[in-house]
Amino acid sequence: MTGRYPNAIWMPVPNFGYSPRQTHGQLLANGPRGAFFHDAQGWMDGAFSTFCDPNRGSAHIIFPLSQGKPYQFIDFDDCAWHCGGYIPGTGAFANLFYWGLEFEGGYPTPTPITDYQIQESVKCCRWLSEHYGFEWAAERRKDLWEHGEVYNTSCPNGRIRWPEIIAALKEDTMTLAQADENWIKATIADMIKKAGPKLIRISGQDEIMELRADGLFHIDGETYTRLGYDKLPVEVVAKDDPILKRRVSYPAGVPAEMH
């Protein structure tokens, strides 16, 4: 397994690993615990030049301001030299357990990261979750950190738009019941208001369900409060729908006038 993000441009630098330097696989072996967010205070090419200096630091990846792919400098399996501090309460050396994410810009004025940077960094975090089996708690000072919280630095200079990043990551880790509340209530309530029982299905699926005024789904005599699907479009089944014509029987309890 390699920790190279497929959506990034691979631009390796020598500053990683400990005892000796350039030891591979240490972060993977230790077990990732989250990420630190950094302000590059400059541009992507400048970060690459800095990270090639053996007397300077490094980060795993840097996200561009407005377009293009991020640069990845260090394999996510390995320890980048991005933090240099210790986690309060545990004493863990941050670089051994946390990924380092840099954001282009912040120079000469530390303006907030852009919508594009939020989008691309969240995509990367989702890939990290899938690739490493890492579930984001999406909690500040647990798995989401700023450099200045463990080291004497102003980085990331107030640039990180945490509410939006946290909301995006928490959406990925919702339980199905939570997703039902956010999706079914918004999508189905309008159907209930407009008419009584309806035959519906998930778009592209053959299974016919009855949505009653109680807001529950009734399928062949069984009652369901959730479908097992998240954020998929629902469509009303017309009386002359060919799927209905192929069925031998109708869902239990469907009013006769709908047959």
> Where do the CATH 3.40.80.10 domains begin and end in the chain?
9-172
pLDDT of residue 171: 82
Class of the domain covering 9-172: alpha beta
User: Rounded to whole angstroms, what are the CA distances from 147 to 38, 110, 157?
Assistant: 6, 15, 9
Give the model confidence (pLDDT) of 188-207 as tens digits: 555 555 545 556 665 656 56
Give the model confidence (pLDDT) of 141-185 as tens digits: 999 999 999 999 999 999 999 999 999 998 866 555 566 666 666
pLDDT of residue 97: 98
| Residues paired with 217 in a beta bridge | 211, 224
Give the model confidence (pLDDT) of 89-103 as tens digits: 999 999 999 999 999
Q: Which residue has the higher pLDDT, 240 or 81?
A: 81
Q: How many helices and strands in the chain, by DSSP H and E?
A: 6, 11
pLDDT of residue 255: 41
- Taking Cα atoms as reference points, which of 206, 140, 211, 190 lies closest to residue 170? 140
243's enclosing H/E stretch is: helix 242-246
pLDDT of residue 207: 60
- Taking Cα atoms as reference points, which of 218, 222, 228 lies closest to residue 258? 218
- Asked if residue 252 has pLDDT above 50, the reply is no
* pLDDT tier at 106, thresholds 50, 70, 90: confident
- Asked if residue 245 has pLDDT above 50, the reply is no
Give the model confidence (pLDDT) of 28-84 as tens digits: 999 999 999 999 999 999 999 999 999 999 999 999 999 999 999 999 999 999 999
Sign for the CA dihedral angle at 48, 50, 51, 53 comes to positive
Q: What type of residue sits at position 131?
A: H
- Asked if residue 128 has pLDDT above 60, the reply is yes
Average pLDDT over residues 231-243: 55
User: Rounded to whole angstroms, what are the CA distances from 73 to 35, 38, 57, 117, 204?
Assistant: 15, 14, 11, 17, 42
The tokens of 116 are what? 């594009």
- Asked if residue 88 has pLDDT above 90, the reply is yes
The tokens of 216 are what? 């529950």
* pLDDT tier at 104, thresholds 50, 70, 90: very high
